[in-house]
Amino acid sequence: MKKSLKKFFALTATTFTASATLVGPATAVLAQEEGETAEGIQEFETVVQNDAESIEGGTLHFALVGDPFAGVLNSMLYTGNPDSQIIGFFHDGLYGYNENFEIDNSGFADVEFNQEDSSVTFTIPQDAQWSDGEPITIDDVIFPYYVIGHPDYTGVRYGQAFTNVVGMEEYHNGDAEEIAGLNRVDDYTLTVSFIEFTPSMLQASGIPNYVEPEHILGEIPVAELEDADAVRSTPVGNGPFRLVSITPGEAITLEANEYYYLGRPMIDQVVIEVVNATSAVAEMRAGNYDLAALPADQYDTFADATNFQVLGELQNSITYIGFKLGTYDVENGTNVMDDSRVTNNKALRQAMAYAIDNDAVGSEFYSGLRTRANTHITPNFSDYHADDIEGYPYNPERAAEILAEAGFVDNDGDGFVEDPNGEAFTLGFASMSGGETAEPLAQYYLQSWQAIGINVELVDGQLMEFNSFYDRVEADDPAIDVFQAAFGTGGDPNPSGLYSRDSQFNYSRFVTEENDALIAAIESEDAFDPEVRQQAFHDWQAYMMEEIPTIPTLYRYNLMAVNNRVKGYDMAIGTDVKWTEIGLTAEQPATE
């Protein structure tokens, strides 16, 4: 399948809550002794195993697990993941990318970067057609710039990738009728000039990735696009299938697109139906569907399935524990550290990292579907992730040593250490409610830190609702010293958006000149050299794991259940498998 479609499958958001057979919070996790290898961590294949011969045609049944879809079936306008999964069946993006989300020529267009003049040239196939048979030209690549940059645009994608285009802001503000940075070379070639040219532009989210049917959407006022039939009920795409019918919010039927630029898919028809998460496992076991992103918190209920295989891929997201080290100065747009906070003592942070057993947390709390994080870059960015960094494996004895060496000593015999100035302190821990795991996991962390003599308590004595949690974390509520959250990196592992001096998402408020320099090295011109870029990422990870303003705790798995009759399916990021190679080996899905 092309990467635009594969992306929706591989990155499908799955709810990770409790294991169906969750054991006691502290007793189970603390049972692992220091130095033991974690047991129970799962390993998954990304490619389905099926050596049978494919039949001709057939209908693939796809379970869209979760709530009803909104039905905004356009890449420029959708916001929900269910809509994005549907779009992936009938519409490809402009370009492809590899396993590190680096843009390559595996997609619809060939992409040529020109660092010297800060431009990117896109070349599309000359004989490509939309699913309605109309030819695709470079005007269909230019068109999305004028939609997303339009002042009446109702979507959420007018961001850095567009504002960096020469002349875009002038067009957006009504000061120009045309976007100066768009140079239409011929019917199949476009050169886009950018204001700044950085290594992040080589990543999948760094430049616009849109091609849209101007001959249809261009007839609709931009302000009315989101509710138009051409978006809601009769979308036209350039992907492997085309939409036949839709039951709003519930189901979609698609058929093979004979105009697909890579050739007609092997499968004749795809039927997509919304399936509630509580019944998805039973539906797959009954053989009612061929593909489903099953809830990871139900893994124990389908791990033994015989009629479908479970594929898995590490997400580009991390669960972490952060330390509040300062505040965000709104007036000056910068983070400011507060040296008076006890959390600004690096030894305290390191000790708290060693005190928690994330190997066992992944095994016991999440059925082995999460694994201990060793750096702030996820392993799916294989060229940039520093797998030689050990991180902070469970070592409470080392934690105690670090505290003692730094002057954290229990002077009054109450079981909790005082700070190096002899002052008692209690840290406020903020964590979100939701799911059966939230409370016992928070209690486990509290007990682990208390076990090494650090007094940590839940803020307000309870877990926080999602929106309240982020409101208070973003506002630097003084009651919060430590917090548990998660972040996703999208297609670009550049840490500036999460850890730079001026980023509001730098919730720990960590700021140092060395961190500035290390991030600058990642974004520098020298980093266009792959070896320099890799080393820059490794240097930053090593520094962050030493300073540990946030503790990366767990990497997460995405799971996809694939019926035994499906052949050729691959959910790996950067896969070159296409829908023209995916087939069915039986008329109906296998049952148990």
β-bridge partners, 292: 63, 561
| CA atoms within 13 A of residue 141's CA, in its CB half-sphere | 32
pTM assigned to the model? 0.84
Two structure tokens written together for 539: 């240097």
- Please name the residues in contact with 410: beta carbons below 8 A apart, sequence gap of 6 or more: 416, 417, 418, 453
Among 168, 300, 147, 159, smallest CA distance to 230 is for 147
- Please name the residues in contact with 227: beta carbons below 8 A apart, sequence gap of 6 or more: none
Sign of CA dihedral 205, 510, 534, 485: negative
Domains of the chain: 1-18+40-72+239-307+564-592 (3.40.190.10), 93-237 (3.90.76.10), 315-556 (3.10.105.10)
Among 370, 357, 455, smallest CA distance to 30 is for 357
What is the per-residue burial (b if ≥16 Cβ within 10 Å, else e) of 118-145?
Answer: bbbbbbbeeebbbbeeeebbbebbbbbb
Predicted confidence pLDDT, tens digits, the chain (592 residues)? 444 333 333 323 322 222 222 222 222 233 333 333 345 678 899 999 999 999 999 999 999 999 899 999 999 999 988 999 999 999 999 999 999 999 999 999 999 999 999 999 999 999 999 999 999 999 999 999 999 999 999 999 999 999 999 999 999 999 999 999 999 999 999 999 999 999 999 999 899 999 999 999 999 999 999 999 999 999 999 999 999 999 999 999 999 999 999 999 999 999 999 999 999 999 999 999 999 999 887 899 999 999 999 999 988 899 999 999 999 999 999 999 999 999 999 999 999 999 999 999 999 888 889 999 999 999 989 999 999 999 999 999 999 999 999 999 999 999 999 999 999 999 999 999 987 789 999 999 999 999 999 999 999 999 999 899 999 999 999 999 999 999 888 889 999 999 999 999 999 999 999 999 999 999 999 999 999 999 999 999 999 999 999 999 999 998 999 999 999 999 988 888 899 999 999 999 999 9
